[in-house]
Structure 1
Amino acid sequence: MNKDSFLSERNFYDSQHFPNGFAREGVFSLKESEILNDCGYVISQLNSGAQRPENEDQQEMLAFLQGMKDAESTIEKAWQKYQNHIHKQYIAMRALYTDTGGSYQESDSGDF
């Protein structure tokens, strides 16, 4: 898979999950950070359906994004690592704001 197939005039940022950038959070290698910065915008557009695949590499990426194939290329693996990290953060945040007992029971008396 060729990185040039995913280049865009726009860099990819995720200030919600990586406010200091991908390279400064200690999650990604420099190569992975570069891939996310350079290719992430097109990949996110493919993932959301906002962009249709324009070449064979993008077609393969879409198959990966849709779960029809495993991550094989460094680009797919970097995106998978990014998605896994975001998912872990979401689960951690959700655990902070939900009942840790695992169940919610309403009071019959109406008291809070």
Structure 2
Amino acid sequence: MTETLFRHGKKRFFDAVKFPRGFAKSGDFTLIEEDILVTYGETMLALERGDITPENAEEKHFTKVIVNPSKAKSKLEHTWLKYVA
């Protein structure tokens, strides 16, 4: 995975409601996408909800992508959009 300034979550992210067996075992995500969600998902969810504020340009761009998905550039952004779809 490429280097990112995006903050890691404080704990591993999971969604026991939609993906009770995990992201990778769902068949919807690749192993790389699963790693992105587990590692950064808590931060991405908090940014989406407005619970935390962006700390750098990459996180600020992510908040713009939430409002306008067509602006997604990074694998991280595309993975989150795939998750919320």
TM-score normalized by the length of structure 1: 0.69
Question: What is the RMSD of the two structures over their aligned residues, measured on CA atoms?
Answer: 1.7
Mark the runs of 5 or more structure 2 residues left unpaired by the alignment.
Answer: none
Structure 1 equivalent of residue 34 of structure 2: 33
1:42-78 CA-partner distances (Å, limit 9, x unpaired): 0000000100001111111011112275211100010
Structure possessing the higher radius of gyration over alpha carbons = 1
More displaced 10-residue stretch of structure 1: 26-35 or 63-72: 63-72
C-alpha distance in structure 1 between counterparts of 2:69 and 2:25, whole Å: 32
Mark the runs of 5 or more structure 1 residues left unpaired by the alignment.
Answer: 85-112
Q: Does the 8 Å CA contact 2:23/2:34 hold for their aligned counterparts?
A: yes
Structure 1 equivalent of residue 48 of structure 2: 47
TM-score normalized by the length of structure 2: 0.89
Find the residue that maps to 1:11 and give its secondary structure.
coil
Matches within 5 A, 1:1-112: 2-67=3-68, 70-84=71-85
Off by >2 Å, runs of 4+ in structure 1: 1-4
Number of matched residues? 84
**RCO comparison, higher one (Cα < 8 Å, 6+):** 2
